Amino acid sequence: MRPRRFMPTGALKGRIRVPGDKSISHRSIMLGALAVGETHVTGLLEGEDVLATAAAMRAMGASVERLDTGEWVINGVGVGALLQPEAPLDMGNSGTSTRLLMGLVASHPITATFTGDASLSKRPMGRVIDPLTTMGASFEASEGGRLPLILKGASPAVPITYRLPVASAQVKSAILLAGLNTPGITTVIEPVPTRDHSERMLRGFGAELTVETDAEGARAISIRGEAELKPQVIEVPGDPSSAAFFIVAALIVPGSEVMIENVGLNPTRAGIVEVLRLMGGSIEEVNPREVGGEPVADLLVRHSALKGIEVDPDIVPSMVDEFPALFVAAAMAQGVTVTSGLDELRVKESDRIAVMAAALTAAGARIEEREDGLVITGTAGAPLPGTQQAIATHLDHRIAMSMAIAGLASQAGVEVDDTRPIATSFPLFETMLDGLGQEGPAA
Ligand code: S3P
């Protein structure tokens, strides 16, 4: 455990550049490892989750190396040519690595064992086991469809058409990645759009992929299997999910003005910016451009008087990882913020509804927990009292970072029981935060 008390700070001022997008980083390594030839990646997130993906792809035959310049070079084995890993694949804390790699292994003639930490071993894998079983893969999973599990891939796998029962980009991606080495056409139907990085990148690598949207807005994504992927040069844009902590920090700490550079603003990810603006947040987009086929801008964020709102549940998939940060903003807004439709938050790295309710309550916020969301009555800008005892973060990086931010705008500070999980997605978070708050505590 590495505890830390995050103390109240003066105005946050300056410029930061958030690390590469986690979702895009995972996918660039996986697809690079399946292309024949050399893929070059810059801006890769070097967090523990992505390093787990890199280690797994190496264990299955690809070469994945970091040059001294910071660029990553991946030499792929070709679709269909993944090797059987000799040892269990240790997925650490990473649900994305686990579920997407299960998709890849499912249509290769290999057997792999997946293991993970205590948090990952509690998370449901049935959502990928079910469709991948229909495609021909077989599983020996721990009770309740959890890790550790053994997956025996099918060769050839059987193409399926699958309608997602939960809005999940991980499940969608697992099936599309399995479809890469499956003869014929594999189709995933998603009733609600989720992050579309897999679709964009599969196309970029040369896979034949079509998307049809019906009158209700459901998307049918089809991929032609036995694809040949061509190596790419990829620049990974900054992660909006990491930016979210600094956006909220600048909004709630009086006098702050922070420029956050290189933030990915793919519409399937940018819900947090829209919701914070609806709450009255001043977030200006500067220098909009494209990086790696994704919309990107620098965000100029100024301290703002926030007001509570009712968050439309339709926006949830485009900000599914940003609710812990949003809850902190809501705790300091004027009036009541109501969130709903957040059932999926209960099966993230921790139960983020229950854990954030307990954490914010301990810091002195007014929280009502409901089955599918939180109702938060804000302080109208007044600092939260802060915590006596350490907040339990339950191996969840986003709980640790959200409560760190809450500490900046508190009276007594907020103590987090363990900051180590932050390294799964944002190793430089504390360094960047300390750099922005150098003006010292508020008078
Ligand atoms: C991710 C999808 C989301 C998100 C996770 C990353 C991805 O999970 O929470 O952090 O890269 O596809 P779900 O698809 O399970 O909602």
Q: CA–CA separation, 236 vs 21, rounded Å?
A: 6
Ligand 1 atom nearest to CA at 198: 12
298 is annotated as an active-site residue = no
Q: Is 96 in the pocket of ligand 1 (CB under 6 A)?
A: yes
**40-99 pLDDT, tens per residue?**
999 999 999 999 999 999 999 999 999 999 999 999 999 999 999 999 999 999 999 999
Residues whose CB falls within 8 Å of the CB of residue 414, separated by 6 or more in sequence, listed in order = 5, 6, 363, 384, 386, 387, 391, 403, 404, 406, 407
Is it true that the peptide bond before 85 is cis, omega within 30 degrees of 0? no
Query: What is the set of domains in the chain, with CATH numbers?
Result: 4-19+238-437 (3.65.10.10), 22-224 (3.65.10.10)
pLDDT at 162: 98
- Which of 90, 196, 321, 396 does the annotation list as catalytic? 321
pLDDT at 439: 53
Max Cα-Cα span within the chain = 68
Task: Read off the pLDDT of each residue in 331-356 and give the average, rounded to a whole number.
Answer: 98
Residues whose CB falls within 8 Å of the CB of residue 168, separated by 6 or more in sequence, listed in order = 127, 194, 344
Pocket test of ligand 1: the residue of 104, 168, 349, 396 to mutate, having most ligand atoms within 8 Å of its CB, is 168
Query: 424 pLDDT exceeds 90?
Result: yes
Q: Is 168 in the pocket of ligand 1 (CB under 6 A)?
A: yes
Asked whether the whole model's pTM tops 0.85, one would answer: yes
Q: Is 201 in the pocket of ligand 1 (CB under 6 A)?
A: no
Task: Read off the pLDDT of each residue in 187-207 and give the average, rounded to a whole number.
Answer: 97
**133-168 pLDDT, tens per residue?**
999 999 999 999 999 999 999 999 999 999 999 999
Please tell me the distance between residue 379's alpha carbon and the centre of ligand 1 in angstroms.
31
Query: 440 pLDDT exceeds 90?
Result: no
Q: Is 48 in the pocket of ligand 1 (CB under 6 A)?
A: no
pLDDT at 293: 86
**5-22 pLDDT, tens per residue?**
999 999 999 999 999 999
Query: 258 pLDDT exceeds 90?
Result: yes
Query: 441 pLDDT exceeds 70?
Result: no
Question: Taking all residues of the chain, what is their mean pLDDT, rounded to a whole number?
Answer: 97
pLDDT at 191: 96
Ligand 1 atom 10: residue of nearest CA: 321
The answer to whether the CB of 360 falls within 8 A of the CB of 331 is yes
Q: Is 195 in the pocket of ligand 1 (CB under 6 A)?
A: yes
Ligand 1 atom nearest to CA at 100: 12
Please tell me the distance between residue 396's alpha carbon and the centre of ligand 1 in angstroms.
14
Q: What angle do CA 187, 192, 194 make, to 5 degrees?
A: 80
pLDDT at 186: 98
Please tell me the distance between residue 175's alpha carbon and the centre of ligand 1 in angstroms.
14
Please tell me the distance between residue 303's alpha carbon and the centre of ligand 1 in angstroms.
29
Q: Is 170 in the pocket of ligand 1 (CB under 6 A)?
A: yes
Query: 396 pLDDT exceeds 50?
Result: yes
CA nearest to 253, candidates 299, 309, 304: 304
The answer to whether the CB of 396 falls within 8 A of the CB of 367 is no
Please tell me the distance between residue 393's alpha carbon and the centre of ligand 1 in angstroms.
19
Q: Is 169 in the pocket of ligand 1 (CB under 6 A)?
A: yes
Ligand 1 atom 15: residue of nearest CA: 168
Q: What angle do CA 353, 354, 359 make, to 5 degrees?
A: 100
Please tell me the distance between residue 308's alpha carbon and the centre of ligand 1 in angstroms.
27
Pocket test of ligand 1: the residue of 96, 99, 104 to mutate, having most ligand atoms within 8 Å of its CB, is 96
Please tell me the distance between residue 151's alpha carbon and the centre of ligand 1 in angstroms.
21
**287-327 pLDDT, tens per residue?**
999 998 899 999 999 999 999 999 999 999 999 999 999 99
